């Protein structure tokens, strides 16, 4: 803090997994309590750009700090959710069992912005990028008994081998779920999602 040196902060998101945030600076400390505070990307603290001198520039600086902090929190939230979901599904797509981690996402059953869309494993599915997109766009629906349905118009469409093998053949198949019951998809949340799929299917 005295030297205003930038640091790298490693935030644990899962066992053995970290997300690095930089630069961060120690901006205050409380020795009796053995605590300190850090600021993320606060370059003005390091003297790397002029410190705000007017009310308008001070407001802009505060807004920038809030924005940067929000972005970092979002990254931590997304990375932590992804790691926990992939770990629960043994790093494979729940629909097709693809195991290439660089092609896997953590998909929300109920979307993140909604009150029920909490970043919990029970509200997540490990999906490859193709099936994540298909699930989000209601090409595929998941029943509360963990069986997949393909939207009728997609099921009847003729568009080459990718559609046949990657989407249509999933109709009526069961997904893989985590072994631990408390990590398996919430049937209540799946029901909410399935009703939305049914509305798309009949539209």
Domain membership flag for residue 1: no
pLDDT mean over 35-54: 60
- Digit-coded pLDDT (tens) for 159-177: 889 999 999 999 999 999 9
Buried b (16+ CB within 10 A) or exposed e, 125-146: bbbbebbbebbeebbbbbbeeb
The verdict on 138 and 196 lying in the same domain is yes
pLDDT mean over 127-141: 97
The sign of the CA dihedral 62, 68, 71, 76 is negative
Domain membership flag for residue 98: yes
The verdict on 159 and 63 lying in the same domain is no
Among residues 196, 186, 197, which one has the least CA distance to residue 118? Answer: 186
The verdict on 97 and 172 lying in the same domain is yes
Looking at the 3D structure of the chain, how many domains does it have?
2
Domain membership flag for residue 179: yes
Could you please report the per-residue DSSP string of 180-201? SGGGSPPHHHHHHHHHHHHHHH
pLDDT score of 151 more than 60? yes
The verdict on 103 and 175 lying in the same domain is yes
Of 66, 87, 108, which residue constitutes the final position of a domain? 87
Taking CA 141 as the corner, what is the angle to CA 139 and CA 147, rounded to the nearest 5 degrees? 135
The verdict on 83 and 105 lying in the same domain is no
Query: In the beta sheet, which residues pair with residue 107?
Result: 125
Identify the domain containing residue 80 by its residue range.
7-87
Could you please report the per-residue DSSP string of 124-179? EEEEEHHHHHHHHTTSEEE-TTSBEEE-HHHHH----HHIIIIIGGGTTPBPP--S
198 vs 11, more confident: 198
pLDDT score of 62 more than 70? no
Q: Looking at residue 22, what is its pLDDT?
A: 79
The verdict on 164 and 74 lying in the same domain is no
The verdict on 128 and 171 lying in the same domain is yes
The verdict on 105 and 161 lying in the same domain is yes
pLDDT mean over 15-36: 85
The verdict on 83 and 98 lying in the same domain is no
The verdict on 33 and 64 lying in the same domain is yes
Domain membership flag for residue 41: yes
24 pLDDT band, cuts 50/70/90, is confident
Of 54, 87, 120, which residue constitutes the final position of a domain? 87
Task: Give the SS3 label for residue 40.
Answer: strand
Number of H helices, E strands in the chain: 5, 7
Of 36, 64, 87, which residue constitutes the final position of a domain? 87
Task: Give the SS3 label for residue 107.
Answer: strand
- Cβ contact 21:40 at 8 Å: yes
- Digit-coded pLDDT (tens) for 72-130: 666 666 778 898 999 999 999 999 999 999 999 999 999 988 888 888 999 999 999 99
The verdict on 64 and 148 lying in the same domain is no
51 pLDDT band, cuts 50/70/90, is very low
The verdict on 23 and 102 lying in the same domain is no
Domain membership flag for residue 11: yes
């Amino acid at each position: 803090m005295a030297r205003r040196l930038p640091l790298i902060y490693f935030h644990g998101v899962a066992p053995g997994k970290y997300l690095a945030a930089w630069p961060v600076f120690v901006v205050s400390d409380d020795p009796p309590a053995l605590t300190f505070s850090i600021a993320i990307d606060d370059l003005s603290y390091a003297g790397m750009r002029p410190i705000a001198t007017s009310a308008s520039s001070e407001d802009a600086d505060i807004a920038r700090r809030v924005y940067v902090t929000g972005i970092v929190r979002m990254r931590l939230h997304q990375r932590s959710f992804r790691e926990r979901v992939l770990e629960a599904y043994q790093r494979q797509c729940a629909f097709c069992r693809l195991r290439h981690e660089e092609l896997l996402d953590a998909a929300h059953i109920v979307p993140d912005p909604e009150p029920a869309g909490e970043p919990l494993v029970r509200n997540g599915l490990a999906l490859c990028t193709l099936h994540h997109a298909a699930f989000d766009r209601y090409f595929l629906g998941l029943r509360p008994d963990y069986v997949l349905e393909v939207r009728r118009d997609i099921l009847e469409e003729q568009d080459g081998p990718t559609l046949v093998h990657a989407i249509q053949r999933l109709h009526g198949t069961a997904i893989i779920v985590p072994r631990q019951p408390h990590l398996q998809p919430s049937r209540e949340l799946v029901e909410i999602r399935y009703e939305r799929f049914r509305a798309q299917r009949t539209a």
